[in-house]
Amino acid sequence: MNAINIAVAGLGTVGRETVRLLRARRAELKERLGAELRLVAVADRAAEREARALGLPASVVRYRDPLDMVRRAEADLFVELLGGLETPKRFALAALGRGKALVTANKRLLAHAWPALTHAARAGGARLAFEGSVAGGIPVLRALELSFSGDRVLGLDGILNGTTNYILSRGEEGATPEQALAEAQTLGFAEKDPRLDLSGRDSAQKLSVLAGLVTGGWLRPGAFPVAGIESVTARDLSFARERLGMAVRLVASLRFSGKPAAPAVAAAVAPTLLPLGHPLAAVRRQYNALLVHTASAGDLMFYGQGAGAGPTASAVLADVFVLARDIQGGLPGAAAASRRLRLTSPDHAVSSYYLRIEVLDRPGALARIADALANAGVSISAIHQDPASGRRSVPVMIITHPAERGRFERARKRILSLSSVKPAHCAMRMMA
Ligand code: HSE
């Protein structure tokens, strides 16, 4: 197949970004896939206006009604980014019923209609992918679906809601819940009705999707305990941190037991105290994370942005690519494989550096070291030397401002050639 035809329903923030990236990355996607990903139709209440704003050619058919598009468009793959429940459900069942591949990022749809969707996909022989529905840009669903195929997922603990995590971690910095929620709304990751976030229901829908992916079965969102962060106050946060050495996070958990073919599951969403050294305690602001416990690989941590146009569109496009590759017959593009990689010069890599040298306590020794750095164009950010005594050498620690590796290396060589500097030294790059 030379082209895979794609139709996108819903041109909100994620839909627009998906369409924009699909077009902007057309050439590289084509090379990697070995076939063109061709946008043939879009559906939105304001399809005409949005299509014009996106600069779509006239060949892309505009539909005002997504259900009209899903019945009529000549597409191999449909993308559902509508939001809500009833129309997306009808859209998804219609696409799968036609045997078409479907990509969605709609956690509510998946959590509430899991049996109907998986049944329709099986009956229609159609593929369904939903990487963007949980933890946005973190590629955790595909890992749960495929990467642990030879392993057993024993359970998981996740921070799956950016808004509540933003409120809790901004609270640790002194912001009130109201201030933090307003910031989350401005940044665009809070739900239209933020009670969905605050009450833990958003996390519960995502937990349901994760359970479905691991077991194949349906974990109904109302069937397990869900608590939010409404009752957590600034006082709780500071007592936890200062007196207990712990942080509060809204954690969604699953534990599987029994036979893998018929597992039992314990599920919960709850505000949870975590030791400050726990990996989930280090997750701050709108970031999401998922700690997966497996039988053979042990614990694995996935971390990244769980919401927003860029991260979610990235996950949606990954789904589009993978399903298109399946349609294509699993044959990746050959062009890239034969291309030799071009290396950029490591000398241009920029970072700050730590340099420890052993220096003889002589007049002018430090001046010559500073000179060597200055001549190479490397600026010193900090320098430390213990009090020196007599003829023995003293360690001098130098921290540089960000500098090109080539320049730093030139300075290092020059410094080590000085008669007042001993050869034993330690140089390390620093990461921000
Ligand atoms: N309201 C959600 C959040 C958006 O805050 O994480 C992504 O599902």
Q: 100 CA distance to ligand 1 centroid (A)?
A: 28
Q: pLDDT digits over 121-148, tens only?
A: 999 999 999 999 999 999 999 999 999 9
Average pLDDT of span 248-267: 92
Regarding the beta carbon of 163 and ligand 1, being less than 6 Å apart is answered yes
State how far the Cα of 148 lies from the Cα of 120, in Å rounded to an integer: 25
Which helix (DSSP H) or strand (DSSP E) does residue 9 occupy? strand 3-9
Query: Which token pair is 165?
Result: 């995590």
Shortest CA distance to 105 belongs to which of 179, 170, 13?
A: 13
Position 389 scores a pLDDT of: 72
Question: For 168-205, how does the pLDDT look when each residue is reduced to its tens digit (9 = 90+)?
Answer: 999 999 999 999 999 999 998 998 899 999 999 999 99
Phi-psi region of 224 (alpha: psi -120 to 50; beta: other; left: phi over 0): beta
Determine the atom of ligand 1 nearest the C-alpha atom of 190.
1
Q: Are strands 287-294 and 299-305 parallel, antiparallel or unpaired?
A: antiparallel
Above 70 in pLDDT, residue 119? yes
Q: What is the DSSP string of 10-61?
A: --SHHHHHHHHHHHHTHHHHHHHHSSEEEEEEEE-TTHHHHHHHTT--TTSE
What's the 369 CA to ligand 1 centre distance in angstroms?
Answer: 52
How far, in whole angstroms, is CA 12 from its chain's centroid? 20
The pLDDT of residue 418: 97
pLDDT band at residue 338 under the 50/70/90 scheme: low
Cα 293 to Cα 210: distance, rounded to the nearest angstrom: 13
Q: What is the DSSP string of 157-185?
A: EEE--HHHHHHHHHHHTT--HHHHHHHHH
Distance CA 121, CA 142 (A): 17
Cα dist from 346 to 32, 349, 352, 376, 404, whole Å: 27, 5, 14, 16, 9
What pLDDT shows up at residue 361? Answer: 86
Which amino acid would we find at residue 422? K
Beta bridge partners of 421: 359
Is 206 a known active-site residue?
Answer: yes
Q: Which atom of ligand 1 lies nearest, measured to the CA of 107?
A: 8
pLDDT at 390: 67
pLDDT of 268 strictly over 70: yes
**Single-letter code of the amino acid located at 190:** A
pTM passes above 0.85: yes
Ligand 1 centroid distance, CA of 4 (Å): 31
Among residues of the chain, what percentage have pLDDT more than 90?
A: 88
Per-residue pLDDT at 1 exceeds 70: no
For residues 290 and 251, give the distance between their C-alpha atoms in angstroms, rounded to a whole number: 9
d(CA 83, CA 163): 18
Which residues are bridge partners to 356 per DSSP? Answer: 397, 426
Q: What is the pLDDT of residue 334?
A: 56
Selection from 122, 147, 129, 149 nearest residue 260 by Cα: 149
Q: What pLDDT score does 388 carry?
A: 74
Answer whether 44 contacts ligand 1 (Cβ < 6 A).
Answer: no
190 within ligand 1 shell (Cβ under 6 A): yes
> pLDDT value at position 350?
94
Average pLDDT, the chain: 94
Structure confidence at residue 260 as a pLDDT band (50, 70, 90)? confident
For residues 168 and 229, the answer to whether their CB atoms sit within 8 Å is yes
What's the rounded mean pLDDT across residues 155-165? 97
Pocket test for ligand 1, best of 165, 183, 197, 249 (most atoms within 8 A of CB): 197
Q: Which range among 249-253, 265-269, 345-349, 386-390 shows the weakest confidence by mean pLDDT?
A: 386-390
Q: Hey, what domains does the chain have and what are their CATH numbers?
A: 3-136+311-328 (3.40.50.720), 140-305 (3.30.360.10), 346-430 (3.30.70.260)
Cβ–Cβ < 8 Å for 168, 250: yes
Give the pLDDT score at 330.
Answer: 58
| Pairing mode of beta strands 101-104, 128-129 | parallel
pLDDT in the model for residue 332? 53
C-beta of 110 in contact with ligand 1 (< 6 A): no
Backbone angles phi, psi at 72, to 5 degrees: -110, -30
Parallel, antiparallel, or unpaired for β 3-9 and 36-43?
Answer: parallel
Cβ within 8 Å of residue 260, ≥6 positions away? 152
Average pLDDT over residues 298-327: 96
136: CA distance to ligand 1 center in Å? 8
**From 89, 100, 107, 206, the catalytic residue:** 206
User: What are the b/e assignments for 413-426, b being 16+ CB within 10 Å?
Assistant: ebbbebebbeeebe
Instruction: Judge if the beta carbon of residue 306 lies within 6 A of ligand 1.
Output: yes
Residue-by-residue DSSP string for 125-162 = T--EE-GGGSSTT-THHHIIIIITTTS-EEEEEEE--H
